[in-house]
Amino acid sequence: MLSYRHVFHAGNHADVLKHTVLLAVLDYLNQKEKPYWVIDTHAGAGGYVLTAGRAKTHAEWQEGIGRLWQRDDLPPLIARYVTAVRADNPEGKLRRYPGSPLFALRTMRPADRLRLFELHPADVKLLAQNIAAAAPDARKRVQIRQEDGFAALKTLLPPPPRRGLVLIDPSYEDKRDYAAVVTALKEGLQRFANGAFMVWYPLLQRNESLTLAGKLKKLAPDWLDCTLTVQPPSPDGLGMHGSGVFLVNPPWTLAAALKETLPWLANVLKLGAGGTASWAVDVSNR
C-alpha cells in the first residue's frame, strides 16, 4: 500500500528481531568465497532519521534499539546488530537507523549484488540517496527499481551465482499481502530451491497472521521460525504484540544462537510495568 511508510516504525522491537536475524544470515553467507545476491522485495527508504520528522510521531525506536544502545551486556548476536547501527551514528548518539538495504550493503562484499524493489515514489527517491551516500560504487553493485517486489521477484530467480538471500518484508496493512507472501515463497522455491528465503511477519490477533507460519512450513523441508512477543495481545485484538521471522534453508548454527539470545532480548524489550514477553524458536525435522 502506498500509504505505508516504515519511518513511523523504524528501529522498533520488530526491526530489532528482523535485522538481528538478517545480519546473522549475511555473515553466514560471507563464510564462503563465492558471491551471492540479496533481493529485497519491499526495501523502503533504506535509512531513517529518528530524531526528526515522521519518526518522532510514535518514536517506536525508543522501545526497540533505544533500549539496547547504552547496554554493555549484549549477547553476541545483539552486539553484532548494535555495532551495525552504530555505523550510521559515528558520533555515538542514536540519531539514524539503517533499513535492511543498508544493513545488507555494508555486510556484503564487492563481488556480491543487491537488488531492491520499492513502490512508494518518495521512498524510492530516498532509497537511491541513502544507497549512493553509503557506497561510492553503488551503481555497480546495486539496482533499485520502483516496482511491485512480489511480481518482480520471479524475474530474478535463480540469481546468476546460484547463491543468495531473498528478503520478503511487506507492510501487511493490506491483508492480501499474507497470501502474496505464501505465493512468492512457493514460486521462489520452484525457481531457486537451494536459496535462502527470509520472511518477516507481524504477530496480530487476526486469522491471516495467526495462520501464516503454518502455511509457510508446508512449502519447504528445511526451515526455521522464530518469534518475539513483547506484550500480551490487547483485549480488543488491535495492534502488534510481537513479530516473527521465517527462514527457508537457514544457517545450521542459527537456531542455537537464537535460543541463547531471545530470552535475553524478550526480557529487555518487554513493554509495560510488570509486563510479560515470550519467545520461540521452531525448526523443521531435517
Q: Annotated catalytic sites, by residue?
A: 169
Q: Which residue has the cell 560471507?
A: 30
Q: Alpha helix (H) ranges present in 8-97? A: 13-29, 55-58, 65-68, 76-86
| Amino acid present at 42 | H
Q: How many helices (DSSP H) and strands (DSSP E) are in the chain?
A: 11, 10
What pairing do the DSSP bridges indicate for beta strands 37-40 and 113-117? parallel
Q: In what order do the strands lie in the sheet with 278-283?
A: 142-145, 113-117, 37-40, 164-168, 196-203, 242-248, 223-229, 278-283
Q: Which residue has the cell 534453508?
A: 249
What is the Rg, in whole angstroms, of the alpha carbon atoms belonging to the chain?
A: 18
Specify which residues 227 forms β-bridges with. Answer: 244, 280
Our CA angle for 12, 51, 242, nearest 5°, is 10
3-state secondary structure of 33: coil
Give the cell for residue 82.
548494535
Cis peptide bond prior to 158, omega within 30° of 0: yes
Q: What is the rounded CA–CA span in Å between residue 174 and residue 2?
A: 10
